[in-house]
């Protein structure tokens, strides 16, 4: 019998000759469902195969061999799946385990009744829309490593100051100036797209912190040097950033010249293709981050893990809520975009869960301290940050920069700030709720015009 299954958080590496009898029984007529297709080409709804994500209970301790054996899979079935399908392991048994599977409606009902199964859900599609979309006419080539620039930026970025003392960078982007000052930004030159602003930051700025950019990929750029690496892709042989969204976000998080956390480790996790998630790519991406986080805990130089998630969808998603909750409990700090629909952020996942989970939802504002008209608002927005005409890394040119706008650009700025805080405040290392509270308390209230909610403006601790 053939079946379609993706297994995460563990593999059927060794399969015993005999497995336990199914209890309860799980119907497995997938091959029959396809073989019984009517002559007119249609398939009855109850026999239609669709992909579902299944999450196990946190206290489920059976091995994958035993779990699938209890579902009724025998040795031959498992061997067929092992050799003909793409199995994936994420090594997160201490956090959560899940797998994806093609099932009929009848099988979904059966699966929900199996002991140890917490959730069964068809995955939703998440997107990362730009506001407005890509415009090549705005691309700027700026070689920060050119001789005429090395001296200035080298002096700024490598100032010999005592650990924890402030550094100053000039000729950077307006968003960095706004998060390091109590005063509004006065536009210079060409306005928000100009490299003519000043950033005040601490000398640690992200040291020892891993920031995972769950997006459309990460391409190399002069902003990253050796700190930007690709961790994982849902499409194993396709790690390229095909829209530029992920690379742009990464530059804002930890770019050397346009980023908020210039010493952080930047990891690209590709969960989107052409701007949209596929199947359980989002869940698998978070599982991969958790596996890395668990391994990094033993490193004495490790200061914390941060996820940037500049994606969203309308309506609730119980499965992703559970994933986010378990990741937070494992000590991972999660920053999400509030989404770009100019309405209540509580209508969109993942932002809607910011009221009940220790995740940080970010709204977007412009250089005039005005909330962007398309930025969502309300009690599910934790904090505001610059998100209009944000110049950052262009995925198509390692020396290119391009402006993008939206909450997708505001969230990475806050993710970089979180990395900065983790490098300075070890008490928040695996305390997402504590850091979230601190971020809100140190922000500037009543600054963002038309905020339509209590969220303050993000600030990194400097008030020049």
> What CATH number is associated with residue 325?
3.40.50.200
Q: Are residues 190 and 114 in the same domain?
A: no
Taking alpha carbons only, the member of 218, 280, 276, 221 closest to residue 249 is 218
The mean pLDDT of 331-338, rounded to a whole number, is 98
For the cut 60, the answer to whether the pLDDT of residue 43 exceeds it is: no
Q: Are residues 54 and 142 in the same domain?
A: no
Spatial contact of 412 and 250, defined as CB atoms under 8 Å apart: yes
User: pLDDT digit string (tens) for 348-406?
Assistant: 999 999 999 999 999 999 999 999 999 999 999 999 999 999 999 999 999 999 999 99
- Domain of 186 in residue numbering reads as 136-441
The percent of the chain in helix, strand and coil, each rounded to the nearest 5, is: 30, 20, 50
Residue 151 appears among annotated catalytic residues: no
Q: Are residues 70 and 170 in the same domain?
A: no
451 domain residue, yes or no: no
The predicted structure's pLDDT at residue 51: 83
Most distant CA pair in the chain, distance? 77
Residue 245 appears among annotated catalytic residues: yes
The predicted structure's pLDDT at residue 36: 32
For the cut 50, the answer to whether the pLDDT of residue 14 exceeds it is: no
**How many separate domains does the chain show?**
2
Q: Are residues 179 and 254 in the same domain?
A: yes
Angle between helices 318-329 and 281-296 (to 10 degrees): 10
For the cut 70, the answer to whether the pLDDT of residue 315 exceeds it is: yes
The predicted structure's pLDDT at residue 46: 64
250 domain residue, yes or no: yes
pLDDT band at 113 (very low <50, low <70, confident <90, very high): confident
Q: Are residues 193 and 226 in the same domain?
A: yes
pTM, two decimal places: 0.85
The predicted structure's pLDDT at residue 369: 98
What single-letter DSSP state applies at residue 47?
Answer: G
The predicted structure's pLDDT at residue 62: 84
Q: Scanning the structure block, which residue is given the tokens 């700030």? A: 417
448 domain residue, yes or no: no
Helix H or strand E encompassing 30: helix 30-35
Q: Are residues 52 and 162 in the same domain?
A: no
User: pLDDT digit string (tens) for 411-421?
Assistant: 999 999 999 99
What single-letter DSSP state applies at residue 199?
Answer: E
253 domain residue, yes or no: yes
393 domain residue, yes or no: yes
Structure-token pair, residue 448: 């963002």
For the cut 80, the answer to whether the pLDDT of residue 27 exceeds it is: no
The predicted structure's pLDDT at residue 428: 98
Q: CA–CA separation, 18 vs 23, rounded Å?
A: 15
The mean pLDDT of 342-353, rounded to a whole number, is 98
Using the 3D structure, point to which of 95, 121, 147 is the last residue of a domain.
121
For the cut 80, the answer to whether the pLDDT of residue 222 exceeds it is: yes
User: pLDDT digit string (tens) for 257-282?
Assistant: 999 999 999 999 999 999 999 888 99
- 34-38, 43-47, 112-116 — which is least confidently predicted? 34-38
Radius of gyration of the chain (CA): 23
62: helix, strand or coil = coil
The predicted structure's pLDDT at residue 24: 37
Q: Are residues 162 and 301 in the same domain?
A: yes
Provide the percentage of residues in the chain whose pLDDT is more than 70.
79
The predicted structure's pLDDT at residue 79: 66
The mean pLDDT of 134-157, rounded to a whole number, is 57
Burial class (CB in 10 A: 0-12, 13-18, 19+), 341: middle
The predicted structure's pLDDT at residue 16: 33
Q: Which of 153, 221, 245, 293 is catalytic?
A: 245
Q: Which of 180, 292, 408, 423 is catalytic?
A: 408
Most confident of 42-46, 60-64, 117-121: 117-121
131 domain residue, yes or no: no
Q: Which of 110, 215, 369, 389 is catalytic?
A: 215
62 domain residue, yes or no: yes
325 domain residue, yes or no: yes
The predicted structure's pLDDT at residue 347: 97
Taking alpha carbons only, the member of 355, 231, 248 closest to residue 293 is 231
Beta strands 333-337 and 304-309 are: parallel
Look at 211 and 143; give whichever has higher pLDDT.
Answer: 211
Q: Are residues 177 and 30 in the same domain?
A: no
Provide the percentage of residues in the chain whose pLDDT is more than 90.
62
Q: Are residues 116 and 140 in the same domain?
A: no
Q: Are residues 101 and 223 in the same domain?
A: no
Residue 221 appears among annotated catalytic residues: no
Q: Are residues 263 and 316 in the same domain?
A: yes
pLDDT band at 110 (very low <50, low <70, confident <90, very high): confident
The predicted structure's pLDDT at residue 162: 52
* CA of residue 44 relative to chain centroid, distance: 37
The predicted structure's pLDDT at residue 176: 98
Q: Are residues 99 and 236 in the same domain?
A: no
């Amino acid at each position: 019998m053939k079946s379609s299954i993706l297994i995460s958080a563990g593999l059927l590496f060794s399969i015993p000759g005999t497995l336990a009898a199914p209890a309860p029984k799980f119907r497995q007529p997938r091959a029959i469902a396809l073989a019984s297709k009517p002559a007119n080409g249609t398939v009855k709804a109850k026999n239609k195969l669709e992909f579902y994500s299944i999450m196990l209970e946190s206290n489920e301790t059976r091995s994958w061999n035993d779990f699938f054996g209890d579902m009724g899979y025998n040795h031959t079935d498992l061997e067929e799946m092992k050799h003909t399908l793409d199995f994936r392991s994420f090594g997160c048994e201490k956090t959560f385990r899940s797998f994806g599977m093609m099932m009929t409606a009848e099988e979904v009902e059966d699966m929900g009744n199996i002991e140890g199964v917490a959730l069964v859900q068809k995955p939703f599609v998440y997107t990362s829309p730009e506001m407005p979309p890509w415009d090549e006419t705005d691309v700027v080539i700026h070689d920060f490593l050119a001789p005429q620039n090395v001296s200035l930026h080298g002096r700024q970025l490598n100032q010999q100051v005592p650990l924890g003392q402030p550094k100053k960078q000039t000729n950077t982007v307006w968003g960095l100036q706004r998060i390091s000052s109590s005063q509004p930004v006065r536009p210079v030159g060409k306005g928000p797209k100009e490299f003519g602003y000043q950033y005040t930051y601490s000398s640690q700025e992200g040291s020892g912190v891993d920031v995972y950019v769950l997006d459309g990929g990460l391409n190399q750029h002069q902003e990253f040097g050796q700190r930007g690496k690709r961790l994982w892709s849902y499409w194993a042989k396709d790690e390229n950033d095909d829209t530029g969204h992920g690379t742009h976000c990464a530059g804002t998080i930890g770019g050397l010249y346009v980023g908020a956390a210039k010493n952080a480790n930047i990891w690209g996790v590709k969960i989107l293709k052409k701007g949209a998630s596929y199947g359980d790519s989002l869940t698998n991406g978070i599982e991969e981050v958790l596996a890395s986080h668990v391994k990094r805990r033993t490193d004495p130089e490790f200061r914390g893990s941060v996820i940037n998630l500049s994606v969203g969808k309308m309506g609730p998603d119980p499965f992703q809520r559970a994933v986010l909750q378990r990741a937070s409990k494992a000590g991972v700090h999660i920053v999400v975009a509030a989404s770009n629909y100019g309405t209540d952020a509580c209508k969109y996942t993942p932002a809607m869960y910011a009221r009940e989970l220790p995740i940080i939802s970010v709204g977007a504002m412009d250089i005039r301290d005005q909330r962007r008209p398309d930025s969502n608002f309300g009690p599910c927005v934790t904090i505001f940050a610059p998100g209009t005409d944000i110049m950052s890394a262009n995925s198509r040119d390692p020396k290119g920069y391009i402006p993008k706008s939206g909450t997708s650009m505001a969230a990475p700025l806050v993710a970089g700030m979180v990395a900065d805080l983790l490098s300075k405040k070890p008490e928040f290392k695996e305390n997402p709720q504590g850091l979230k509270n601190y971020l809100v308390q140190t922000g500037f209230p009543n600054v963002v015009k038309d905020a339509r909610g209590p969220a303050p403006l993000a600030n990194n601790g400097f008030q020049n």
